[in-house]
Amino acid sequence: MIERGNPVPSVRVKLVDANGIADSTSDAILGTGLVVLFSVPGAFTPTCHVNHLPGFIANQAKLHAAGVTRIVCASVNDQHVMKAWAEASGALGKVDFIADGNAELATALGLAKDFSGSGMGTRYARAAMIIRNGIVDNVFVEDAPGVSASGAPAILMALETANS
């Protein structure tokens, strides 16, 4: 698993943002400024849709005030699903999305998790990272169902601690 001090890997992904859908690489998306990346098992899935993403939307201004230049959500879904989720959740223009349809970035980060038992195949573990200019500052991986360590409030606390 990626650790503090590691550079973000360069993996081909699809970027979904306010400009639409574009081919990109993970290091191009995550490599400049202070970036918060959070990963979810799936777009529109109950915990991701109701508990994880909304916290980052609601705390966008506070995250930016803490110095965050970009908030990014990654999931093992195709770009069309990610765009529909961004639009349906009101996140478009507030959060950028990485569509990692083949779980290549999830695997490169060491966050790939087998959800085959529930019919979902390989997905991301629920997690979050603070990345400064392409280097990982902190990694927060949930060790139980739900959102606590990787939610926006926990990331805000980590940023405040780092800035004090």
Residue positions annotated with a catalytic role:
48
Q: Are β-strands 70-75 and 34-39 bridged in parallel, bridged antiparallel, or unpaired?
A: parallel
Per DSSP, the three-state class of 101 is coil
Asked if 98 and 13 count as a contact pair (C-beta separation under 8 A), the reply is yes
For Cα atoms 23, 28, 33, give the angle at the middle one, nearest 5 degrees: 140
User: ∠ at Cα 128 (126, 134), nearest 5°?
Assistant: 135
Q: Which two tokens stand for residue 152?
A: 């926006």
Q: Is 118 helix (H, G, I), strand (E, B) or coil?
A: helix
